[in-house]
Amino acid sequence: MFKKILIANRGEIALRVLRAARELGVKAVVAYSEADETSLPVLLADESICIGPAASSGSYLNVRNLLSAALVTGAEAIHPGYGFLAENAEFAEMCEEHHLTFIGPRPENIERIGDKARARSLAIEAGVPITPGSDPLADLAAAHAFAAEVGYPVILKASAGGGGRGMRVVQSPNDLERNFVQAQEEARAAFGDPRMYLERFLEEPRHVEIQVFGDGEGEVIHFYDRDCSIQRRYQKVLEEAPSILDPALRADIAEAAVRLARHIGYRGAGTCEFLVDREGRFYFSEMNTRIQVEHPVTEMVTRFDLVQEQFRVAAGEGLSLRQEDVRLEGHAIEVRVNAEDPDHDFRPSAGVVTDVHWPGGPGIRVDSHVYAGYRIPPNYDSLIAKVIAWGPTRAMAIARMERALRETVVEGVATTIPFHLRVLDNAFYRRGAVYTNFIARRMSI
């Protein structure tokens, strides 16, 4: 096991990784920007080091500064968390070149499956079903030609993207004309790569993902599924595990995810995302080569620490368990508490948190870097906490989540807690009728 690592991220995921390191007896250095000097992971770290200004381009995306920080502090490995450089194959390769272990997939894993258009080809090779889609599009004319061939509606996606950036549902040729260049520019700004591709758009699917783990030597296991259908502008806002699926269908999707990960010799934590239509047919969408924001719901229903397993695999210790050791127990729900005002089109609400009280009690977990007096900077994602509720049944998990959110106090900034309470109170949500258009169709916001 490593003696010391560098955490190349911020916020709640930096704190999550720090806690995993502590429990394994690994010292952790937290890299931080000038805007994050007083954040909780920085205050709790064994060591901390400033890597640049508030702008992520000069700090959390600054490869040279991050590598220098790791080397000067004597770290043996870098954990990238999620976002920023977590799925950057070049960064993973440069870590290796500087004799630093990248706590994540090998660079070739990221490069092969991280490109969404290429991932579709790999899924076909592995015998995993995919929605009809294009190769990377050379230009708008190629996009028009493909859309005319498969029929509208189609969905426009960034080849190198994730988190909904660069994504547009297109209903007509005129829509495609209006959205293509905008999506390209959004993808270029977010990922440095403007390439786009198209997929046939499925009406009212569920968004189901499978958590996989590989040892890089051919062994891959899964930790079952999560339902991430409740989304706003392609950003997940609430997740739960397991999905409301027939057990046989769940097993089929999980087997397909394992088959794909094994096909590429995958190492570390990864998530295969699928769309499931109303007839129970499933289609591979993409693979995220990192730990997910929503990984706690999987940890709650499997009683296993996924981040610590990332450490073990990266350190060459292999997987610590076999597939038959992974069992589902109960149900878990996670809500993403963002510093946003849901009554004003989810406007960001940066500022000082004047008071905060996080909930507790049976089955409740809170992952947050926020404390009373903490200033939320305007420079980054607005996520300030994840509240996770576990129960022996889905109904009990919902009841515990409602109770936990009503106990929560965050003063000084607006949060999305009132919105989450409305979701939990929605009759369609309570009976599990959730699809990717749930918010648009079932919620008035």
| Phi, psi angle pair for 130, to nearest 5° | -130, 155
Q: How far apart are CA 286 and CA 116, in angstroms?
A: 6
Q: Which of 165, 267, 290, 312 is catalytic?
A: 290
| Phi, psi angle pair for 264, to nearest 5° | -105, 10
The 3-state DSSP composition of the chain as helix, strand, coil percent (nearest 5) reads 35, 25, 35
Q: Write down the residue that tokens 């000082």 correspond to.
A: 352
Residues 6 or more apart whose Cβ sits within 8 Å of residue 243:
206, 208, 225, 226, 227, 250
Whether 290 is catalytic is yes
- 118-148 in b/e form (b: 16+ CB < 10 A) is bbbebbeebebebbebbebbeeeebbbebbe
Q: Write down the residue that tokens 């109303």 correspond to.
A: 278
The helix-helix angle for 107-114 and 89-97 (nearest 10°) equals 170
Residues 6 or more apart whose Cβ sits within 8 Å of residue 294:
226, 228, 236, 239, 334, 386
Single-letter amino acid code for the residue at 82: Y
The helix-helix angle for 116-125 and 247-263 (nearest 10°) equals 100
User: In whole angstroms, how far apart are CA 235 and each of 82, 232, 337?
Assistant: 14, 5, 13
Q: How far apart are CA 186 and CA 281, in angstroms?
A: 31
Tell me which residues are annotated as active site.
Answer: 290
